Every structure is written in C-alpha cells, then in structure tokens.
Amino acid sequence: GTKPMSEEPYHLKESLARLVAEVAKREWPQSWENFLSDLNGMCPLGKTQQELVLMVLLRLAEDVIGMDVNLQNQRKREMMLALNTHSEGIFKFFLNMLTYNSKMLNQMVS
C-alpha cells in the first residue's frame, strides 16, 4: 500500500496479519521468544497497531485451534502449550486493551 496503515483497505491489513501469524506459527516460541511482548509493545503506537495485533492473535488462535490443516499435529500441540502457558498474560493484554479503549470512549463522550 501507499497510504498510512490506518487508511489502507481491510484486505491489506488482513494480509499483513496473516503474514505475521504465519511467521509466528513457524518461529514462536522457540525462535521468537518475545513474540507476545513485541505485539504488546505495538499497541501504544495507535489504533491501527492495536487492530493489527488483534487480527494477528485471531489468525494465530484460529490456525492453532484447528483451521489450518497444513499445521502438523506436533506443532499444533507445541503452539497450544505456548498459548496456554502465556494465557494469563494474554488475558491481561485483552483486559488492558478493553480498559484503555473504554477510557478513550468515555473521554470522547464527555
């Protein structure tokens, strides 16, 4: 794309999210240990980055849970274990996102 990410069409954002999720499926947690903290670090950069992070997590979860028939069973187990291991941090991340966006909405309404 040639526009700022916030103005790009949805399908470009979706493609970027799928690309990051594909890399994560191959590299996380063994070779990309900071994957979740890297995603978390993107969120303060803006709404578009928050949207992309949520899209990446959605794609990754969908693929690991069962939608990716090309992902080997052993790799799925490894990824499920990693997701379960990091579930507390993931839930805190979602709670922080909801809290932040709720505050922003309240400020807009006030």
Q: Output the pLDDT for position 69.
A: 81
Alpha-carbon Rg for the chain, nearest whole angstrom, is 15
Place of tokens 């992070």: 53
Domain layout of the chain by residue ranges: 10-109
DSSP string, 50-75: HHHHHHHHHHHHHIIIII-TTS-HHH
Across residues 75-81, what is the average pLDDT? 92
- In tens, the pLDDT along 37-60 reads 999 999 988 888 899 999 999 999
pLDDT-derived band at 71, boundaries 50, 70, 90: confident
Across residues 88-100, what is the average pLDDT? 93
Q: Decide if pLDDT at 1 tops 70.
A: no
DSSP 8-class letter at 2:
-
- Least confident stretch, 5-9, 44-48, 51-55, 91-95: 5-9
Place of tokens 């922080």: 96
What is the average pLDDT value for the chain, to the nearest integer?
91
DSSP 8-class letter at 32:
-
- % residues pLDDT > 90 (the chain): 70
